[in-house]
Amino acid sequence: MAVSAVSAGSTSALSGTRQSIAQNFDTFLSLLTTQLKHQNPLDPLDTNQFTQQLVQFTGVEQQLKTNEFLEAMMLSTQNANNSEAVGYVGKVVTASGAKSELIDGEAVWHFGVDKAANITATVRDADGNTVFVKQGNVEQGESVFKWDGIGSDGRQKPDGSYSISIEARDGDGRFVNVATEMTGEVTGVDFTGSEPVLLIGGARVNLSSVLTVRKNTES
């Protein structure tokens, strides 16, 4: 199975800014040197002002270096996660199905119930805020819950990671066990979301939801 190559990185967006700051700093030093050479001995330049400007330039340069370092760390972490995700292809994993990625207006969750039940599904965003609630009926066995990203307020929610909790009751009002864990072979990886998503048959599982991994002994 062919797997798309993982990007090694991108050109830093700060490089142009650093170059501009460096040029301005060199220009400032040249002007300072020229002014010092040609200053009026009877009316010398205010050295405190120049000192403050030097401190400001130094502070900006240090901040740019810090931003570059953080950018490099984030890129390294992202590439490591992508490489780890590719390593799951062909492996059998067990994962929690509570989380899913909303991509292009669609998020999908797989779950199962012990018997036919009335369910209440609650979708929450990454901060734990409830964004959508829906009630319905499902038959015994596995079911699929699809969400188009439209919240209970009627507004389209942004792409990203969302979680679901499902409460199920039978006809007598008794609670029914709901299983969101799934086990299957990883057949591919989707990198378009906020984190890698493993493809298991028709299901999509966030990398962070993986509970166990084992070698596929049937292949």
What are the pLDDT digits (tens) for 160-173?
889 999 999 999 99
Confidence of residue 208 (pLDDT cuts 50, 70, 90): confident
* 78 DSSP 8-state letter: H
Q: Rounded CA gap, 168 and 114, in Å?
A: 10
What value does the mean pLDDT take over residues 117-124?
A: 96
Least confident interval from 54-68, 123-137, 138-152: 54-68
CA–CA dist 145, 160 (Å, integer): 17
pLDDT at residue number 180: 85
* pLDDT more than 90, % of the chain: 26
Closest CA to 180 of 192, 195, 196, 164: 164
pLDDT of residue 140: 93
Residue type, 2: A
pLDDT at 11: 45
Architecture of domain 91-215: Sandwich (2.60)
Q: Which of 16-20, 27-31, 80-84, 98-102 has the lowest mean pLDDT?
A: 16-20
pLDDT of res. 110: 84
What pLDDT is stored for residue 1 in this prediction? 33
pTM of the model: 0.53
CA distance 40 to 8: 56
